[in-house]
Copies of this chain bind each other. A is one copy, B any other.
Amino acid sequence: MKNTLDKALAECRKFTSEGTVASYIPELQKARYDALGICIMTENEILAVGDCDEKFTMQSVVKPMILLLALMDNGLEKVRDLVGVEATGKPFDTFNYSDRALTGAHINPMVNAGAIALLTLINGDSYAEKFDRLLSLTRTLADNPSLEVDEAVYLSESQTGSKNRALAYMLKAYGMISCEVEEVVDIYFRACSIKVDCRDLARIALVLSRKGRDPKTDKQLFPAEFAGCVNAILSICGMYDGSGEFALNVGIPAKSGVGGGIMAVVPSRMGIGTYSPALDKKGNSRAGVKALELLSRELNLSIF
């Protein structure tokens, strides 16, 4: 497996030149565009190659965390009352859902509007408390109590987050959320700005692959059924409107973020985290996807 990882690193770094580092959040543009890190974590071993020490912000990779906590706090039914689970056929930040009044059926937990809506379902007396609980869950799953928000990215997101504010006001206009928009988008920006590395993502994915059981203690960190929910939704729409292509070429539940990270879950077997900030046109890490294609092919990871 180590050889395959080395091969993936050697063969896939060149694909960074085919992508573009996200620029709509100015702070993200500072990333080293040809970085590539890959970490595989199983119950027994941790293999990490390349730039696995490089830190990056979760961005959309935090969406499965938001979904998971919303499920833990409310159960599936209440979550499903608020948001749908179908692919939208459209980019993750689109306004163009339909000719009809917006309903939950038009969105899902992996598009921005869906994630923002789900944040309002998280328990907590204040939005600060909701965020603390989300950060705490992320730390637990990553087994890394030192995870923090990257303040520079958070500020950059907050200052340039007109699209997310528009989406949140749209949710409010259609009665899907009722809170103060600035409060909910503030913790959305914070959540997107949680700083991780490949190991953290691999660890979170490993817990999801084990249906919520802690790899060390075997303690159930959350109900097993919710891992199934998250993995199913990731397979449908975790890789933006490139999820079908990813199912075809890789074949495992995964979530990417415009920060360059991908968290990939191989059910019952392993968790994988990759990092490479140059993105393809759909917003997925170009070299990360190529590395996962190679790993899937050589290690027979596809669930199909």
- Which residues of A come within 8 Å of B, CB atoms? 84-90, 94-100, 102, 108, 162-163, 165-170, 172-173, 181, 227-229, 231-233, 235-237, 241-245, 247-248, 251, 253, 267, 302-304
Q: Is the CB of A232 within 8 A of B253?
A: no
Question: Which residue of B85, B87, B100, B303 contacts A100 across the interface (Cβ within 8 Å)?
Answer: B100
Q: Is the CB of B236 within 8 A of A244?
A: yes
Q: List 22 A-B contacts (CB under 8 A).
A: A85-B247, A86-B243, A87-B89, A87-B236, A87-B237, A88-B89, A90-B99, A95-B96, A95-B97, A100-B100, A108-B244, A162-B172, A163-B173, A166-B166, A166-B168, A229-B248, A232-B251, A232-B304, A235-B235, A235-B304, A253-B304, A267-B304
Most buried by B among A90, A97, A165, A168: A165
Docked Cα-Cα span, A256 to B181, in Å, equals 31
Docked Cα-Cα span, A304 to B251, in Å, equals 11
Question: Which residue of B84, B90, B247 contacts A232 across the interface (Cβ within 8 Å)?
Answer: B247
Counting every copy of the chain, the complex holds 4
Chain B residue numbers with a CB within 8 Å of A242 are: 86
Docked Cα-Cα span, A292 to B108, in Å, equals 23
Q: Is the CB of A244 within 8 A of B90?
A: no
Question: Which residue of B165, B166, B247 contacts A233 across the interface (Cβ within 8 Å)?
Answer: B247
A170-B181 CB under 8 A given contacts A95-B96, A235-B235, A244-B108: no
- Nearest Cβ in chain B — how far from A144, in angstroms? 25
Question: Which residue of B96, B163, B227, B248 contacts A169 across the interface (Cβ within 8 Å)?
Answer: B163
Q: Is the CB of A85 within 8 A of B244?
A: yes
Docked Cα-Cα span, A304 to B211, in Å, equals 9
Q: Is the CB of A166 within 8 A of B163?
A: no
